[in-house]
Amino acid sequence: MINRVKIVILTLLWMPCASMAQTLPPDNPSLQEKASHFEKIIRERHVKHGFVRELKGGFLHSSDNDGLWTALYVTAMSFKYAATKDPKARQWARESFRSLEWLEKITGKPGFPARSIVKVGEPKKHGYDGEWHVDASGKWEWKGDTSSDELDGHFLAYSVFYDLVADGPEKMRVQRLVRRVMDTIIENDWYLVDLDGKPTRWGVWNPKQLNDGQPVHGLQDEDWSQERGLNSLEILSHLKAAHHITGDPKYQTKYMELVEKHRYAENVRNGVIDPADLNHSDVELAFCAFYPLLKYEADPALLSIYRESLRKTWEIVKPVKSPWWNFTQCIFNGEDCGLEEGIKTLEKMSWKQINLPGGVEESGIYTHTLLRWNGNPYRPNPGNGDIEGDGVVFLLPYWMGRYHGQLTVSSGADATH
Protein backbone atom coordinates (compact mmCIF):
# COMPACT_ATOMS: atom_id res chain seq x y z
CA MET A 1 0.00 0.00 0.00
CA ILE A 2 2.84 2.40 0.84
CA ASN A 3 4.43 1.88 -2.57
CA ARG A 4 1.12 2.49 -4.33
CA VAL A 5 0.63 5.74 -2.42
CA LYS A 6 4.12 6.87 -3.45
CA ILE A 7 3.36 6.15 -7.09
CA VAL A 8 0.13 8.16 -7.01
CA ILE A 9 1.86 11.09 -5.32
CA LEU A 10 4.67 11.08 -7.87
CA THR A 11 2.31 10.99 -10.84
CA LEU A 12 0.45 14.00 -9.51
CA LEU A 13 3.69 15.97 -9.16
CA TRP A 14 5.05 15.65 -12.68
CA MET A 15 3.97 19.07 -13.89
CA PRO A 16 6.06 22.12 -12.88
CA CYS A 17 4.55 24.14 -10.05
CA ALA A 18 4.68 27.34 -12.11
CA SER A 19 2.66 25.74 -14.89
CA MET A 20 0.10 24.41 -12.41
CA ALA A 21 -0.38 27.90 -11.01
CA GLN A 22 -0.98 29.31 -14.47
CA THR A 23 -3.73 26.78 -15.18
CA LEU A 24 -6.03 27.77 -12.31
CA PRO A 25 -9.36 28.65 -13.96
CA PRO A 26 -11.13 31.97 -13.50
CA ASP A 27 -14.66 31.91 -12.13
CA ASN A 28 -17.05 30.74 -14.86
CA PRO A 29 -14.55 31.09 -17.74
CA SER A 30 -15.90 32.03 -21.15
CA LEU A 31 -15.36 29.73 -24.10
CA GLN A 32 -12.87 32.27 -25.46
CA GLU A 33 -10.91 32.14 -22.19
CA LYS A 34 -10.86 28.34 -22.35
CA ALA A 35 -9.61 28.44 -25.92
CA SER A 36 -6.82 30.86 -24.98
CA HIS A 37 -5.87 28.63 -22.05
CA PHE A 38 -5.59 25.48 -24.16
CA GLU A 39 -3.63 27.31 -26.85
CA LYS A 40 -1.23 28.51 -24.18
CA ILE A 41 -0.56 25.09 -22.67
CA ILE A 42 -0.03 23.59 -26.13
CA ARG A 43 2.70 26.11 -26.88
CA GLU A 44 4.23 25.71 -23.41
CA ARG A 45 4.41 21.93 -23.16
CA HIS A 46 2.70 19.95 -25.92
CA VAL A 47 4.81 20.51 -29.05
CA LYS A 48 7.85 18.37 -29.82
CA HIS A 49 9.60 18.24 -33.19
CA GLY A 50 6.61 20.23 -34.44
CA PHE A 51 4.07 17.55 -33.46
CA VAL A 52 1.28 18.11 -30.96
CA ARG A 53 1.30 15.34 -28.36
CA GLU A 54 -0.18 14.36 -25.03
CA LEU A 55 2.06 14.84 -22.02
CA LYS A 56 2.50 11.60 -20.05
CA GLY A 57 4.54 11.40 -16.90
CA GLY A 58 6.18 14.70 -17.76
CA PHE A 59 7.37 13.51 -21.19
CA LEU A 60 6.11 13.99 -24.75
CA HIS A 61 6.20 10.49 -26.19
CA SER A 62 5.47 9.60 -29.80
CA SER A 63 2.21 7.85 -30.63
CA ASP A 64 0.77 5.87 -33.52
CA ASN A 65 -1.24 8.91 -34.53
CA ASP A 66 1.08 11.91 -34.24
CA GLY A 67 0.09 12.91 -37.76
CA LEU A 68 -3.65 12.74 -37.04
CA TRP A 69 -3.48 14.72 -33.79
CA THR A 70 -1.19 17.34 -35.31
CA ALA A 71 -3.45 17.60 -38.36
CA LEU A 72 -6.43 18.36 -36.12
CA TYR A 73 -4.40 21.16 -34.52
CA VAL A 74 -3.54 22.57 -37.96
CA THR A 75 -7.26 22.50 -38.77
CA ALA A 76 -8.22 24.25 -35.53
CA MET A 77 -5.64 27.01 -35.95
CA SER A 78 -6.62 27.48 -39.59
CA PHE A 79 -10.22 28.04 -38.52
CA LYS A 80 -9.01 30.44 -35.83
CA TYR A 81 -6.97 32.47 -38.29
CA ALA A 82 -9.91 32.71 -40.67
CA ALA A 83 -12.22 33.79 -37.85
CA THR A 84 -9.90 36.29 -36.12
CA LYS A 85 -6.95 37.06 -38.44
CA ASP A 86 -4.71 36.47 -35.42
CA PRO A 87 -1.16 36.21 -36.87
CA LYS A 88 -0.13 33.78 -34.13
CA ALA A 89 -2.80 31.32 -35.24
CA ARG A 90 -1.46 31.52 -38.78
CA GLN A 91 2.10 31.00 -37.55
CA TRP A 92 1.10 27.95 -35.48
CA ALA A 93 -0.88 26.44 -38.35
CA ARG A 94 2.09 26.93 -40.67
CA GLU A 95 4.58 25.40 -38.24
CA SER A 96 2.51 22.27 -37.72
CA PHE A 97 1.70 21.98 -41.42
CA ARG A 98 5.45 21.81 -42.03
CA SER A 99 5.49 18.83 -39.67
CA LEU A 100 2.86 17.10 -41.82
CA GLU A 101 5.08 17.75 -44.84
CA TRP A 102 8.03 16.27 -42.96
CA LEU A 103 6.10 13.06 -42.26
CA GLU A 104 5.91 12.46 -46.01
CA LYS A 105 9.41 13.65 -46.85
CA ILE A 106 11.29 11.62 -44.24
CA THR A 107 10.19 8.22 -45.58
CA GLY A 108 11.99 8.68 -48.89
CA LYS A 109 8.95 7.19 -50.62
CA PRO A 110 6.97 9.94 -52.38
CA GLY A 111 3.36 10.04 -51.23
CA PHE A 112 3.87 7.77 -48.22
CA PRO A 113 3.70 9.63 -44.89
CA ALA A 114 5.07 8.26 -41.64
CA ARG A 115 2.97 7.89 -38.52
CA SER A 116 5.50 9.57 -36.23
CA ILE A 117 9.09 10.84 -36.02
CA VAL A 118 11.54 10.69 -33.11
CA LYS A 119 15.24 11.34 -32.71
CA VAL A 120 17.40 8.23 -32.80
CA GLY A 121 17.74 7.03 -29.22
CA GLU A 122 14.63 8.76 -27.90
CA PRO A 123 12.33 6.53 -25.86
CA LYS A 124 9.13 5.47 -27.57
CA LYS A 125 5.78 5.07 -25.88
CA HIS A 126 5.43 1.61 -24.35
CA GLY A 127 3.33 -0.67 -26.50
CA TYR A 128 3.97 1.33 -29.66
CA ASP A 129 7.14 -0.36 -30.87
CA GLY A 130 5.81 -1.26 -34.32
CA GLU A 131 7.70 -0.72 -37.54
CA TRP A 132 10.46 1.88 -37.19
CA HIS A 133 13.02 2.97 -39.79
CA VAL A 134 16.11 5.18 -39.54
CA ASP A 135 16.09 8.00 -42.09
CA ALA A 136 18.84 8.76 -44.60
CA SER A 137 20.57 11.19 -42.23
CA GLY A 138 20.85 8.58 -39.49
CA LYS A 139 19.53 11.12 -36.97
CA TRP A 140 15.82 10.38 -37.02
CA GLU A 141 13.53 7.37 -36.82
CA TRP A 142 10.11 7.26 -38.41
CA LYS A 143 7.22 4.86 -37.92
CA GLY A 144 5.64 3.09 -40.87
CA ASP A 145 2.56 0.92 -41.44
CA THR A 146 0.61 4.16 -41.72
CA SER A 147 -3.16 3.85 -41.42
CA SER A 148 -6.15 5.41 -43.12
CA ASP A 149 -6.73 7.21 -39.81
CA GLU A 150 -3.68 9.34 -40.45
CA LEU A 151 -4.73 10.28 -43.97
CA ASP A 152 -8.20 11.30 -42.79
CA GLY A 153 -6.60 13.88 -40.54
CA HIS A 154 -4.01 14.89 -43.14
CA PHE A 155 -6.55 15.56 -45.90
CA LEU A 156 -8.81 17.53 -43.55
CA ALA A 157 -5.81 19.67 -42.58
CA TYR A 158 -4.57 19.97 -46.18
CA SER A 159 -7.93 21.30 -47.35
CA VAL A 160 -8.70 23.70 -44.50
CA PHE A 161 -5.12 25.02 -44.38
CA TYR A 162 -5.12 25.47 -48.17
CA ASP A 163 -8.39 27.39 -48.17
CA LEU A 164 -7.94 29.55 -45.07
CA VAL A 165 -4.23 30.05 -44.34
CA ALA A 166 -1.88 29.26 -47.22
CA ASP A 167 -0.42 32.03 -49.37
CA GLY A 168 0.71 31.54 -52.98
CA PRO A 169 3.95 29.58 -52.37
CA GLU A 170 2.31 27.57 -49.57
CA LYS A 171 -0.61 26.68 -51.81
CA MET A 172 1.86 25.25 -54.30
CA ARG A 173 3.46 23.17 -51.54
CA VAL A 174 0.06 21.83 -50.50
CA GLN A 175 -0.74 21.03 -54.13
CA ARG A 176 2.49 19.09 -54.62
CA LEU A 177 2.06 17.18 -51.38
CA VAL A 178 -1.55 16.26 -52.15
CA ARG A 179 -0.56 15.09 -55.64
CA ARG A 180 2.14 12.81 -54.27
CA VAL A 181 -0.09 11.23 -51.64
CA MET A 182 -3.13 10.83 -53.89
CA ASP A 183 -1.15 9.58 -56.87
CA THR A 184 0.59 6.85 -54.90
CA ILE A 185 -2.78 5.54 -53.69
CA ILE A 186 -4.21 5.51 -57.22
CA GLU A 187 -1.09 3.93 -58.71
CA ASN A 188 -1.19 1.17 -56.11
CA ASP A 189 -4.75 0.08 -56.90
CA TRP A 190 -6.37 2.03 -54.04
CA TYR A 191 -4.00 0.81 -51.33
CA LEU A 192 -1.52 2.73 -49.19
CA VAL A 193 1.68 0.80 -49.88
CA ASP A 194 4.59 0.72 -47.43
CA LEU A 195 8.34 0.46 -48.12
CA ASP A 196 8.10 -3.31 -48.55
CA GLY A 197 5.71 -2.94 -51.49
CA LYS A 198 2.76 -4.30 -49.51
CA PRO A 199 -0.34 -2.45 -48.31
CA THR A 200 -0.29 -1.17 -44.77
CA ARG A 201 -2.55 -2.87 -42.24
CA TRP A 202 -5.32 -0.27 -42.53
CA GLY A 203 -4.63 1.52 -45.82
CA VAL A 204 -7.36 -0.18 -47.88
CA TRP A 205 -9.82 1.48 -50.29
CA ASN A 206 -9.78 -1.08 -53.12
CA PRO A 207 -13.24 -1.74 -54.67
CA LYS A 208 -12.89 -5.51 -54.82
CA GLN A 209 -11.74 -5.55 -51.22
CA LEU A 210 -14.53 -3.30 -49.94
CA ASN A 211 -17.42 -4.37 -52.15
CA ASP A 212 -16.69 -8.05 -52.69
CA GLY A 213 -14.42 -8.96 -49.81
CA GLN A 214 -11.90 -10.32 -52.29
CA PRO A 215 -8.15 -10.06 -51.69
CA VAL A 216 -6.37 -8.34 -54.57
CA HIS A 217 -3.01 -9.66 -55.78
CA GLY A 218 -2.83 -11.62 -52.54
CA LEU A 219 -1.87 -8.42 -50.72
CA GLN A 220 -4.72 -8.37 -48.23
CA ASP A 221 -6.61 -11.49 -47.27
CA GLU A 222 -9.25 -10.12 -44.92
CA ASP A 223 -12.92 -9.37 -45.53
CA TRP A 224 -13.23 -5.60 -45.54
CA SER A 225 -16.96 -5.42 -46.23
CA GLN A 226 -17.59 -4.14 -42.68
CA GLU A 227 -15.44 -1.12 -43.52
CA ARG A 228 -17.21 -0.51 -46.83
CA GLY A 229 -19.12 2.62 -45.85
CA LEU A 230 -16.40 4.42 -43.91
CA ASN A 231 -13.59 3.64 -46.31
CA SER A 232 -15.71 4.64 -49.31
CA LEU A 233 -16.41 7.95 -47.56
CA GLU A 234 -12.70 8.43 -46.88
CA ILE A 235 -11.41 7.93 -50.40
CA LEU A 236 -14.20 9.97 -52.01
CA SER A 237 -13.38 12.80 -49.62
CA HIS A 238 -9.66 12.60 -50.38
CA LEU A 239 -10.26 12.63 -54.14
CA LYS A 240 -12.66 15.55 -53.90
CA ALA A 241 -10.13 17.48 -51.80
CA ALA A 242 -7.35 16.62 -54.27
CA HIS A 243 -9.43 17.87 -57.18
CA HIS A 244 -10.28 21.09 -55.35
CA ILE A 245 -6.70 21.77 -54.27
CA THR A 246 -4.88 20.87 -57.49
CA GLY A 247 -7.56 21.54 -60.10
CA ASP A 248 -6.42 18.37 -61.88
CA PRO A 249 -9.41 16.72 -63.61
CA LYS A 250 -7.92 13.24 -63.23
CA TYR A 251 -8.97 13.22 -59.58
CA GLN A 252 -12.56 14.03 -60.53
CA THR A 253 -12.41 11.27 -63.15
CA LYS A 254 -11.23 8.75 -60.58
CA TYR A 255 -13.84 10.02 -58.15
CA MET A 256 -16.66 9.44 -60.64
CA GLU A 257 -15.25 6.02 -61.47
CA LEU A 258 -15.63 5.00 -57.84
CA VAL A 259 -19.10 6.56 -57.69
CA GLU A 260 -20.53 5.16 -60.93
CA LYS A 261 -18.69 1.89 -61.48
CA HIS A 262 -18.12 0.82 -57.90
CA ARG A 263 -21.13 2.39 -56.11
CA TYR A 264 -19.05 4.19 -53.49
CA ALA A 265 -21.63 6.96 -53.04
CA GLU A 266 -24.25 4.27 -52.38
CA ASN A 267 -21.88 2.69 -49.88
CA VAL A 268 -21.77 6.04 -48.09
CA ARG A 269 -25.56 6.34 -48.25
CA ASN A 270 -26.00 2.87 -46.75
CA GLY A 271 -24.12 3.89 -43.64
CA VAL A 272 -20.60 4.57 -42.43
CA ILE A 273 -21.10 3.68 -38.75
CA ASP A 274 -22.55 0.48 -37.29
CA PRO A 275 -25.09 1.52 -34.63
CA ALA A 276 -24.95 -1.95 -33.09
CA ASP A 277 -21.20 -1.78 -32.56
CA LEU A 278 -20.35 1.89 -32.11
CA ASN A 279 -16.65 2.58 -32.57
CA HIS A 280 -15.92 6.14 -31.44
CA SER A 281 -12.63 6.20 -33.33
CA ASP A 282 -14.48 5.43 -36.57
CA VAL A 283 -16.92 8.24 -35.81
CA GLU A 284 -14.03 10.68 -35.48
CA LEU A 285 -12.60 9.53 -38.81
CA ALA A 286 -15.98 9.85 -40.51
CA PHE A 287 -16.34 13.45 -39.38
CA CYS A 288 -12.82 14.22 -40.62
CA ALA A 289 -13.91 12.96 -44.05
CA PHE A 290 -17.41 14.43 -44.14
CA TYR A 291 -16.19 18.03 -43.96
CA PRO A 292 -14.15 18.25 -47.21
CA LEU A 293 -16.56 16.03 -49.13
CA LEU A 294 -19.63 18.06 -48.25
CA LYS A 295 -17.82 21.35 -48.70
CA TYR A 296 -16.53 20.62 -52.19
CA GLU A 297 -19.27 18.47 -53.74
CA ALA A 298 -21.29 20.54 -56.23
CA ASP A 299 -23.50 17.85 -57.78
CA PRO A 300 -26.96 18.17 -56.16
CA ALA A 301 -27.73 14.45 -56.33
CA LEU A 302 -24.45 13.39 -54.76
CA LEU A 303 -24.59 16.18 -52.21
CA SER A 304 -28.04 14.95 -51.18
CA ILE A 305 -26.66 11.44 -50.66
CA TYR A 306 -23.79 12.68 -48.52
CA ARG A 307 -26.01 14.98 -46.48
CA GLU A 308 -28.35 12.07 -45.83
CA SER A 309 -25.41 9.93 -44.71
CA LEU A 310 -24.20 12.69 -42.39
CA ARG A 311 -27.69 13.02 -40.90
CA LYS A 312 -27.95 9.26 -40.32
CA THR A 313 -24.49 9.16 -38.77
CA TRP A 314 -25.26 12.12 -36.54
CA GLU A 315 -28.53 10.56 -35.36
CA ILE A 316 -26.52 7.56 -34.17
CA VAL A 317 -23.98 9.65 -32.25
CA LYS A 318 -26.36 12.44 -31.17
CA PRO A 319 -26.40 11.24 -27.52
CA VAL A 320 -22.65 11.93 -27.31
CA LYS A 321 -23.41 15.69 -27.52
CA SER A 322 -20.09 16.30 -29.22
CA PRO A 323 -19.70 19.89 -30.42
CA TRP A 324 -17.63 18.66 -33.37
CA TRP A 325 -20.31 16.24 -34.52
CA ASN A 326 -23.16 18.65 -33.77
CA PHE A 327 -21.59 21.70 -35.41
CA THR A 328 -20.81 19.66 -38.54
CA GLN A 329 -24.46 18.64 -38.75
CA CYS A 330 -25.47 22.31 -38.34
CA ILE A 331 -23.09 23.47 -41.08
CA PHE A 332 -24.20 21.04 -43.75
CA ASN A 333 -27.78 20.14 -42.88
CA GLY A 334 -28.97 23.19 -40.96
CA GLU A 335 -31.78 21.31 -39.28
CA ASP A 336 -32.19 20.36 -35.63
CA CYS A 337 -28.54 19.69 -34.94
CA GLY A 338 -27.92 19.90 -31.21
CA LEU A 339 -26.28 23.32 -31.33
CA GLU A 340 -27.12 24.16 -27.71
CA GLU A 341 -26.01 20.72 -26.52
CA GLY A 342 -22.69 21.17 -28.30
CA ILE A 343 -22.17 24.55 -26.68
CA LYS A 344 -23.00 23.14 -23.24
CA THR A 345 -20.43 20.40 -23.76
CA LEU A 346 -17.78 23.03 -24.48
CA GLU A 347 -18.82 24.86 -21.32
CA LYS A 348 -18.62 21.73 -19.18
CA MET A 349 -15.35 20.40 -20.52
CA SER A 350 -12.67 20.51 -17.86
CA TRP A 351 -10.23 23.42 -17.72
CA LYS A 352 -7.56 20.93 -16.68
CA GLN A 353 -7.21 18.29 -19.38
CA ILE A 354 -5.72 15.75 -16.97
CA ASN A 355 -6.89 12.14 -16.75
CA LEU A 356 -8.17 12.27 -13.20
CA PRO A 357 -10.83 9.78 -12.07
CA GLY A 358 -14.35 10.97 -12.79
CA GLY A 359 -17.66 10.37 -14.49
CA VAL A 360 -20.65 12.26 -15.81
CA GLU A 361 -23.64 13.98 -14.30
CA GLU A 362 -27.06 12.36 -14.52
CA SER A 363 -27.87 14.92 -17.22
CA GLY A 364 -25.17 13.34 -19.37
CA ILE A 365 -22.95 16.43 -19.48
CA TYR A 366 -19.22 15.85 -19.14
CA THR A 367 -17.66 16.44 -15.74
CA HIS A 368 -14.41 14.62 -16.38
CA THR A 369 -11.52 15.22 -18.69
CA LEU A 370 -12.01 14.26 -22.33
CA LEU A 371 -8.62 13.91 -23.99
CA ARG A 372 -9.78 12.88 -27.48
CA TRP A 373 -12.99 12.43 -29.47
CA ASN A 374 -11.98 8.86 -30.39
CA GLY A 375 -13.21 7.30 -27.15
CA ASN A 376 -16.45 6.92 -25.23
CA PRO A 377 -16.85 10.07 -23.10
CA TYR A 378 -19.42 8.37 -20.86
CA ARG A 379 -17.13 5.64 -19.64
CA PRO A 380 -15.93 6.34 -16.07
CA ASN A 381 -12.36 7.58 -16.21
CA PRO A 382 -9.96 5.32 -14.29
CA GLY A 383 -7.07 7.73 -14.82
CA ASN A 384 -4.45 8.53 -12.20
CA GLY A 385 -3.41 12.03 -13.21
CA ASP A 386 -0.35 11.12 -15.24
CA ILE A 387 -1.60 12.36 -18.65
CA GLU A 388 -2.37 15.91 -19.73
CA GLY A 389 -4.31 16.26 -22.98
CA ASP A 390 -3.42 18.98 -25.45
CA GLY A 391 -6.88 20.58 -25.56
CA VAL A 392 -7.41 20.23 -29.31
CA VAL A 393 -10.50 18.24 -28.33
CA PHE A 394 -11.93 21.68 -27.37
CA LEU A 395 -10.14 23.90 -29.87
CA LEU A 396 -11.24 22.17 -33.08
CA PRO A 397 -15.01 22.39 -32.53
CA TYR A 398 -14.72 25.81 -30.88
CA TRP A 399 -12.86 27.47 -33.76
CA MET A 400 -14.87 25.61 -36.37
CA GLY A 401 -17.99 26.98 -34.70
CA ARG A 402 -16.54 30.48 -34.55
CA TYR A 403 -15.56 30.38 -38.23
CA HIS A 404 -18.95 29.10 -39.36
CA GLY A 405 -20.89 31.56 -37.19
CA GLN A 406 -22.34 29.09 -34.70
CA LEU A 407 -20.44 30.75 -31.86
CA THR A 408 -19.43 34.29 -31.05
CA VAL A 409 -16.81 35.60 -28.65
CA SER A 410 -19.47 35.43 -25.90
CA SER A 411 -20.23 32.27 -23.95
CA GLY A 412 -23.32 30.36 -22.87
CA ALA A 413 -26.68 31.14 -24.39
CA ASP A 414 -25.24 34.33 -25.87
CA ALA A 415 -22.86 32.22 -27.98
CA THR A 416 -25.48 31.37 -30.60
CA HIS A 417 -26.06 33.63 -33.56
Write a three-state SS string for the chain: CHHHHHHHHHHCCCCCHHHHHHCCCCCCCCHHHHHHHHHHHHHHHCEECCEECCEECCECCCCCCHHHHHHHHHHHHHHHHHHHCCHHHHHHHHHHHHHHHHHHHCCCCCCCCCCCEEECCCCCCCCCCCCEEECCCCCEEEECCCCHHHHHHHHHHHHHHHHHCCCHHHHHHHHHHHHHHHHHHHHCCCEEECCCCCEEEEEECCHHHHHHCCCCCCCCCCCCHHHHHHHHHHHHHHHHHHHHHHCCHHHHHHHHHHHHCCCHHHHHHCCCCCCCCCCHHHHHHHHHHHHHHHHHCCCHHHHHHHHHHHHHHHHHHHHHCCHHHHHHHHHHHCCCCCHHHHHHHHHHCCCCCECCCECECCCCCECCCCCCCCCCCCCCECCCCCEECCCHHHHHHHHHHHHCCCCCCCCHHHHCC
The domains located in the chain, with CATH, are 31-108+147-404 (1.50.10)
Q: Tens digit of pLDDT for each residue in 296-353? A: 999 999 999 999 999 999 999 999 999 999 999 999 999 889 999 999 999 988 888 8
**pLDDT value for 358:** 61
Per-residue pLDDT of the chain (417 residues; tens, 9 = 90+): 444 444 333 344 444 433 433 456 666 789 999 999 999 999 999 999 999 998 887 778 788 899 999 999 999 999 999 999 999 999 999 999 999 999 999 999 999 999 999 999 887 765 556 789 999 999 999 999 999 999 999 999 999 999 999 999 999 999 999 999 999 999 999 999 999 999 999 999 999 999 987 766 555 567 788 899 999 999 999 999 999 999 999 999 999 999 999 999 999 999 999 998 889 899 999 999 999 999 999 999 999 999 999 999 999 999 999 999 999 999 999 988 999 999 999 998 888 887 776 654 444 444 555 678 887 777 776 667 778 888 999 999 999 999 999 998 865 544 444
Distance between CA atoms of residues 104 and 69, nearest Å: 16
Beta bridge partners of 118: 141
Cα angle 354-355-358, degrees, rounded to a multiple of 5: 115
Q: How far apart are CA 365 and CA 377, in angstroms?
A: 10
Rounded to the nearest 5 degrees, what angle is found at the Cα of 65, between the Cα atoms of 61 and 67? 100
Question: What is the amino acid identity at position 194?
Answer: D
What string of DSSP letters covers 339-355? HHHHHHHHHHS-SS-B-
Please state the pTM of the whole predicted model: 0.91
Q: Alpha-carbon distance 34 to 346, whole Å?
A: 9
CA-to-CA distance for 182 and 188, rounded, in angstroms?
10
Contact 229, 237 (CB under 8 A): no
In this structure, which amino acid lies at residue 174? V
